[in-house]
């Protein structure tokens, strides 16, 4: 992209025609002909580096050569030069074409092989076909037979006569028509049949006017639209400019073709050429050619003529076909003609036609909707310009345009969905908008025909002087000015681009079955129609709420409820009534108020409660809490709301800033409301509310509490395993009951809680180290102390996460009664918790963070019975654990969705019944033991894990549940112990807790030594 001047590279500047047509402005907007195919009928195009990867030839493969009387040969590079002007690559070498990203299909004008390249070209993807050829008139000669030369050095051509040229064309009409109907054009007028057939296949035909001096006019072939006016809009004749404003002395004038003729640079144009050269340094003649001593080498050179002007226009057409991918060839032609820079006599004239092609203006849309009345009578082609409406189809992204033709294509660029025209459009024609997309008119448009909106959206953000009719599924929008409008059944009016005012100079009419779509905001703004008079013959008012504002970033918001809006204002009165007013929201209702010259709209709350659309307990709890955040009473301050009054002048409102609507003001009490509550008023479906309540719930806090309770088991497991080791119940231990022992264990675990209909799932991971020291203090009894640090990370739903730094302290001990052992202990953990969660629904967005402390305490007791044999140790066991979690106050930092929570606690009691087994291999230097455990865990009491929260600065509390624990689950453990020496044991282990709702896995490594 970039600024226009950045495109003026050495390549660009080498070809002066690019600047003359203002091509740099199109390039700066990204339009280079990409995706468009250009057809060229000429002599053979050389395989030049400028055409690498983009040229397809549809000829017999031979090149064109010519011979003089001395048998010297030259290469016919006319087609090569033409192709370069239109579409040579932008590769840093030589020059580049107008549409340098376009592809090229070339075929010969006269190809005597078996291949019919012209018919292939018609059936190809080419949408514009360049024709830089013609039939020259006779040259005057003196009595001696010598050519008569004019003072300017040009030959004195016999002048064509308009009536004779047209008569010649009409005499050929039947044979040309017959030839055009054949798959392969044949006959004496096959070239004209080709062009007629191509035009009727939706191609744009660009034709050089000829090089027969200014006094001359184009020959019969250029006058084909006189015989076939239906193809005039697909036909463009091009004359040659010697500089930006002067017609070349060699150029034929537009003449009788002026209504479909434009001008373009064509003198001294630098482009691609080919040179026939000797490989031996010898002569370049027929003899050398027959010996194989000649080759055609690519290069660059200058040529002049309308042959060079035409490909400028062809390239312009390709650029515009990329710019307006939805337009047909005849519409591209209209844009080229109506945006041309006027030269010579004002308006269409004999020399320049419509004027010099101008890409700077052309990329901004047409400047005229042409009808017969816009063409000077002397240049009017009978039967042409018969269409009164410029029908533009903005199809919507991905839809098909021109289906069933050789130029059928899928519209895939952004302009297929939304486009804007900024030129001022005049003319006697009108505009018809079709297709599902949006067209915005930004200019001061004075065209005289009617405007029809049949499909999609027409946004008037400038002005349109004509009457606008809206029907079918069409919508009129924008914040500009129209002369008048009438919305009939199926038609809609939606002022603004967002919220705005549509101005109507005269009458605004709504018929039965039409719709007035009004958008309102909580700050007193609303869509509005400001007209002279309004006639309401029915129609519906459909109210929508502006949803572009992020309310959650505010501490409080102005409430929609109780607001009154002026949605229609007039100077001369409102006649009739709308049929009804329909909000699309379950929680708000509207009422219309007709007072004098205005129509007002009031908004109140329906009887439906927020929780009526919620489906789960968490959703309902949040919805009920939000319900309590309703709006407060109006405060004393007032807010000014603009009320635009329509101008009294008609067309003067379309000129500059004069006559624009005057602003009035009205006062309204400001009603403040909670931003979360106000955001709920805009929900249109249960799904929207459910998504919002899940994100607002703060489930991450309940998840973290549940995770800390669940993961407390790793502390008691470590203590229990150490006691069994010290008891000698794990075969690998050489530590006797009378030894002191110290141990360390590295922990790593990861867990998953499966979500249900009420709560989203989460993943946890915990890593850290535990340390312990114990000693036998009495017979068959041991007491120890443990400490450690772990870090827990939790990833919750809806972009929420939490981290906890955990600091542990515990006591543990046992007492053995023969084969029976009793083990017990208690731990206490201090947590430092950080949470972060995102809230994103609709236009609402916020990020809430909190830091708070929590504590977890637990008590546990276990009994195990040792049942040993030589091969294996078995220990049936039963344990019981009680865990208590308590968090300090929670205070999230963020926007309106931030939550707080009081100090609160929750407890859990669980028992496990199971069997442990271990076995040992003993060598001279080391003992290796394998151990395993299988158990059944049962939870007592309530299974819910919930936290009570409330929105900040409110007292309405709600409970949010995490994933509930499962009533029953399985415990799996496996490990290996290696006795390094008589004082140290290395342990590696895996532990798993598997239930329907939670799946936890852990790995650990431990080292125990005695002293």
Round to whole Å and give the CA distance between 394 and 325. Answer: 9
Query: If pLDDT is split at 50, 70 and 90, which confidence band does 150 have?
Result: confident
What does the pLDDT read at residue 109?
83
Helix (H, G, I), strand (E, B) or coil at 196: helix
Q: 641 pLDDT exceeds 70?
A: no
Q: Are 336 and 320 in contact (CB under 8 A)?
A: yes
CA 326 to chain CA centroid, Å, is: 19
Mean pLDDT of the chain: 90
Q: How far is CA 180 from CA 230, 257, 845, in A?
A: 14, 22, 63
pLDDT value of residue 511:
98
Q: Locate 859 and state its tokens.
A: 């008590």
pLDDT (average), residues 706-735: 80
- For residue 747, pLDDT beyond 90: no
Q: In the predicted model, what is the mean pLDDT of residues 7-22?
A: 98
Report pLDDT digits (tens) over 589-630.
Answer: 999 999 989 999 999 999 999 999 999 999 999 999 999 998
In the predicted structure, residue 631 carries a pLDDT above the cut 70: no
Question: How distant is the alpha carbon of residue 145 from its chain centre?
Answer: 71
Residue 928 has pLDDT above 90, yes or no: no
Give the pLDDT confidence of 966-1005 residue by residue, as tens digits.
Answer: 999 998 988 888 877 766 778 787 877 888 887 777 777 7
**pLDDT score at 185:** 63
| Residue 736 confidence (pLDDT) | 37
Q: Check residue 114 and give its pLDDT.
A: 63
As a whole number of angstroms, the distance between CA 467 and CA 456 comes to: 18
Orientation of helix 329-338 relative to helix 306-323, angle to 10°: 110
Gap between the Cα atoms of 985 and 742, Å rounded:
11
- pLDDT number for residue 587: 94
Positions annotated as catalytic residues are: 42, 78, 307
E strands along 488-587, which residues? 492-495, 501-510, 515-520, 528-537, 540-545, 557-558, 564-570, 574-577, 580-583
Q: What is the pLDDT of residue 745?
A: 86
DSSP letters, 439-459, are EEE-SEE---S-EEEEEEEEE
Q: What is the pLDDT of residue 912?
A: 95
Number of residues written out for the chain: 1011
Per-residue DSSP letters for 34-63?
A: TT-EEEEEESPPP--GGGTTTEEE-S-SPP
Q: Residue 656: pLDDT above 60?
A: no
Q: Which two tokens stand for residue 403?
A: 């289906």
- What are the chain's domains? 4-362 (3.40.50.200), 386-607 (no CATH), 702-1010 (2.40.128.130)
What global pTM score does this model have? 0.78
- pLDDT for res 1008: 64
- Higher pLDDT, residue 724 or 51: 51
Residue 29, both tokens: 């907007």
Q: Rounded to an integer, what distance in angstroms lies between the CA atom of residue 979 and that of residue 909?
A: 36
Give the model's pLDDT for residue 705: 97
DSSP state of 232: G
Quote the tokens at residue 998.
């939670």
Spatial separation of the C-alpha atoms in residues 661 and 677, rounded to whole Å = 36
Distance CA 911, CA 709 (A): 14
pLDDT in tens, 297-346: 899 999 999 999 999 999 999 999 999 999 999 999 999 999 999 999 99
Task: For 125-143, give the secondary structure using H, E and C.
Answer: CCCEEEECCCCCCCECECC
Q: Do 243 and 276 meet the contact criterion of CB atoms below 8 Å apart?
A: no
Strands in 377-425 per DSSP E? 389-393, 400-401, 409-410, 418-421
- What is the structure's pLDDT at 730? 54
Local confidence band at 926 (pLDDT 50, 70, 90 cut-offs): confident
Summarised one tens digit per residue, pLDDT across range 185-236 is 655 568 899 999 999 999 999 999 999 999 999 999 999 999 999 999 999 9
Q: How far apart are CA 279 and CA 610, in angstroms?
A: 89
Q: Is the pLDDT of residue 658 over 50?
A: no
In angstroms, the Cα distances linking 705 to 87, 900, 969 are: 69, 15, 20
Which tokens sit at 987? 């342990």
pLDDT at 649: 38
Q: Can you tell me which residue has the tokens 């010290």?
A: 726
Assign 1006 a pLDDT band (cuts: 50, 70, 90): low
How buried is 790 (Cβ within 10 angstroms: 0-12 exposed, 13-18 middle, 19+ buried)? buried
pLDDT value at residue 208: 98
User: What does the alpha-carbon distance between residue 14 and residue 90 come to, in Å, rounded to a whole number?
Assistant: 12
Q: Average pLDDT, stretch 869-877?
A: 87
CA 128, CA 505: separation in Å to the nearest integer?
Answer: 42
Q: What is the pLDDT of residue 520?
A: 92
Q: How confident is the model at residue 68 (pLDDT cuts 50, 70, 90)?
A: confident
With a cut of 60, say whether residue 732 has pLDDT above it. no
Token pair listed for 423: 């030129």
Q: How far apart are CA 755 and CA 752, in angstroms?
A: 9
The whole-angstrom separation of Cα 698 and Cα 619 is: 11
Cβ atoms of 9 and 27 closer than 8 Å: no
Residue 655 has pLDDT above 60, yes or no: no
pLDDT band at 1009 (very low <50, low <70, confident <90, very high): low
How big is the CA angle at 602 (ends 601 and 605), to the nearest 5 degrees? 140
758 within 8 A of 794, measured Cβ to Cβ? no
Mean pLDDT of 860-867: 94
- Measured in whole angstroms, the distance separating CA 31 from the mean position of its chain's CA atoms is 19
169 vs 135 pLDDT, higher one? 169
Backbone angles phi, psi at 227, to 5 degrees: -90, -30
In Å, how far from its chain's centre is CA 256? 48
Q: For residue 571, is pLDDT > 50?
A: yes
Mean pLDDT of 276-303: 85
Q: Which residues pair with 356 in a beta bridge?
A: 263, 341
Model confidence band, residue 654 (pLDDT cutoffs 50, 70, 90): very low
Query: How high is the pLDDT of residue 739?
Result: 62
Return the pLDDT at 188. Answer: 55
Burial class (CB in 10 A: 0-12, 13-18, 19+), 377: exposed
Say if residue 284 is exposed, middle or buried (CB neighbours under 10 Å; 0-12, 13-18, 19+): middle
What is the average pLDDT across 939-944?
A: 92
Dist CA 306 CA 88 (whole Å): 18
pLDDT bucket at 667, cuts 50 / 70 / 90: very low
| 8 Å CB contact between 601 and 928 | no
Q: How far apart are CA 611 and CA 274, in angstroms?
A: 79
Instruction: Give the CA distances from residue 785 to residues 256, 384, 770, 811, 987, in Å, rounded to whole numbers and listed in that order.
Output: 109, 103, 11, 5, 19
- pLDDT of amino acid 26: 98
Residue of 56, 53, 86, 660 lying closest to 318 (CA atoms): 86
Closest CA to 936 of 876, 848, 866, 851: 876
Stretch (H or E) spanning 1: none
Helix, strand or coil, per DSSP, at residue 803: strand
Cα–Cα distance measured from residue 122 to residue 727, given in angstroms and rounded to the nearest whole number: 96
């Amino acid at each position: 992209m970039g600024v226009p001047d950045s495109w003026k590279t050495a390549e660009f500047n080498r070809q002066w025609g690019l600047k003359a047509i203002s091509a740099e402005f199109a390039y700066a907007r990204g339009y280079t002909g990409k995706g468009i195919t250009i057809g060229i009928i000429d002599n053979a195009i050389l395989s030049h580096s400028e055409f690498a990867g983009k040229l397809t030839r549809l000829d017999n493969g031979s090149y064109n050569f010519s011979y003089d009387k001395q048998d010297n040969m030259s290469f016919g590079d006319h087609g090569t030069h033409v192709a370069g002007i239109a579409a040579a690559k932008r590769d840093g070498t030589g020059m580049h074409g107008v549409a340098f990203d376009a592809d090229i299909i070339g075929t010969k004008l006269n190809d005597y092989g078996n291949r019919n390249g012209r018919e292939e070209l018609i059936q190809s993807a080419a949408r514009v076909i360049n024709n830089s050829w013609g039939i020259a008139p006779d040259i005057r000669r003196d009595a001696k037979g010598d050519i008569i030369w004019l003072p300017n050095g040009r030959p004195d051509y016999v002048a064509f006569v308009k009536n004779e040229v047209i008569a010649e064309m009409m005499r050929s009409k039947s044979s040309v028509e017959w030839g055009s109907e054949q798959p392969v054009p044949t006959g004496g007028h096959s070239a004209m049949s080709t062009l007629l057939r191509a035009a009727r296949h939706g191609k744009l035909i660009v034709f050089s006017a000829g090089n027969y001096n200014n006094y001359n006019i184009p020959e019969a072939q250029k006058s084909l639209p006189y015989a076939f006016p239906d193809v005039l809009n697909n036909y463009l004749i091009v004359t040659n400019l010697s500089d930006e404003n002067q017609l070349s002395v060699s150029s034929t004038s537009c003449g009788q073709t002026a209504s479909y003729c434009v001008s373009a640079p064509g003198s001294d144009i630098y482009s691609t050429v080919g040179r026939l050269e000797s490989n031996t340094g010898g002569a370049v003649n027929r003899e050398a050619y027959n010996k194989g001593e000649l080759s055609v080498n690519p290069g660059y050179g200058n040529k002049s003529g309308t042959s060079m002007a035409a490909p400028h226009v062809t390239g312009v057409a390709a650029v515009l076909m990329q710019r307006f991918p939805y337009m047909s060839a005849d519409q591209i032609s209209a844009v080229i003609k109506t945006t041309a820079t006027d030269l010579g006599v004002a308006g269409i004239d004999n020399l320049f036609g419509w004027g010099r092609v101008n890409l700077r203006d052309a990329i901004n849309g047409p400047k005229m909707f042409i009808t017969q009345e816009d063409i000077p009578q002397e240049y009017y082609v009978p039967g042409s310009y018969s269409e009164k409406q410029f029908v533009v189809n903005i199809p919507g992204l991905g839809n098909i345009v021109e289906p069933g033709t050789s130029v059928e294509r899928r519209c895939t660029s952004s302009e297929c969905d939304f486009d804007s025209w900024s030129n001022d459009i005049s003319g006697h024609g009108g505009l018809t908008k079709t297709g599902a997309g949006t067209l915005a008119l930004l200019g001061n448009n004075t065209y005289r025909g009617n405007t029809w909106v049949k499909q999609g959206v027409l946004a008037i953000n400038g002005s349109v002087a004509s009457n606008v009719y809206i029907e079918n599924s069409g919508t009129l929008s924008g914040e500009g000015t129209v002369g008048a409008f009438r919305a009939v059944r199926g038609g809609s009016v939606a002022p603004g681009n967002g919220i705005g005012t549509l101005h109507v100079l005269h009458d605004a009419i709504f018929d039965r079955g039409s719709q007035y779509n009004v958008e309102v905001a909580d700050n007193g703004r609303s869509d509005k129609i400001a007209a002279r008079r309004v006639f309401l013959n029915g129609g519906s008012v459909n109210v929508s709420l502006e949803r572009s504002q992020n309310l959650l970033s505010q501490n409080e918001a102005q409430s929609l409820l109780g607001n009154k809006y002026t949605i229609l204002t007039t100077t001369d009165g409102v006649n009739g009534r709308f049929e009804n007013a329909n909000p699309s929201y379950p929680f708000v209702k509207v009422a219309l108020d007709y007072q004098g010259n205005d129509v007002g709209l009031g908004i109140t709350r329906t009887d439906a409660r927020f929780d009526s659309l919620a489906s789960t307990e968490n959703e309902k709890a949040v919805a009920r809490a939000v319900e309590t955040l309703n709006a407060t009473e109006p405060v004393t301050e007032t807010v000014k709301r603009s009320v635009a009054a329509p101008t009294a002048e008609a067309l003067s409102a379309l000129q500059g800033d004069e006559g624009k609507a005057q602003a009035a003001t009205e006062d309204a009490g400001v009603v403040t409301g909670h931003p979360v509550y106000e955001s709920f008023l805009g929900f249109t479906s249960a799904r929207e509310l459910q998504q919002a309540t899940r994100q607002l719930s703060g489930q991450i806090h309940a998840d973290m509490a549940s995770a800390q309770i669940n993961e407390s088991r790793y502390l008691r497991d470590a203590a229990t395993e150490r006691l069994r080791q010290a008891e000698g119940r794990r075969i690998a231990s050489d530590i006797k009951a009378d030894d002191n022992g110290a141990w360390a264990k590295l922990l790593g675990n990861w867990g998953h809680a499966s979500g249900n209909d009420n709560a989203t799932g989460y993943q946890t991971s915990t890593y850290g180290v535990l340390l312990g020291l114990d000693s036998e203090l009495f017979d068959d009894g041991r007491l120890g102390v443990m400490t450690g640090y772990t870090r827990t990370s939790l990833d919750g739903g809806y972009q929420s996460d939490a981290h906890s730094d955990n600091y542990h302290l515990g006591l543990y001990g046992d007492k053995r009664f023969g084969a029976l052992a009793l083990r017990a202990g208690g731990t206490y953990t201090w947590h430092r918790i950080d949470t972060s969660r995102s809230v994103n629904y609709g236009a609402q967005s916020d990020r809430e963070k909190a830091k708070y402390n929590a504590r977890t305490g637990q008590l546990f007791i276990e009994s195990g019975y040792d049942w040993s044999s030589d091969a294996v140790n078995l220990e049936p066991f039963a344990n019981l654990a009680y865990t208590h979690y308590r968090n300090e106050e929670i205070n999230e930092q963020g926007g309106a969705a931030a939550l707080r929570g009081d100090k609160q606690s929750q407890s859990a009691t669980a028992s496990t019944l199971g069997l442990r087994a271990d076995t040992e291999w003993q060598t001279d230097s080391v003992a290796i033991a394998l151990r395993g455990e299988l158990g059944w865990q049962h939870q007592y009491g309530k299974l819910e894990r919930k936290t009570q929260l409330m929105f900040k600065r409110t007292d309405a509390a709600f409970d949010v549940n995490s994933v509930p624990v499962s009533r029953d689950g399985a415990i799996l453990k496996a490990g290996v112990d290696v006795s390094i020496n008589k004082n140290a044991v290395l342990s590696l282990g895996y532990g798993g807790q598997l239930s329907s709702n939670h799946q936890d896995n852990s790995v650990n490594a431990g080292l125990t030594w005695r002293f």
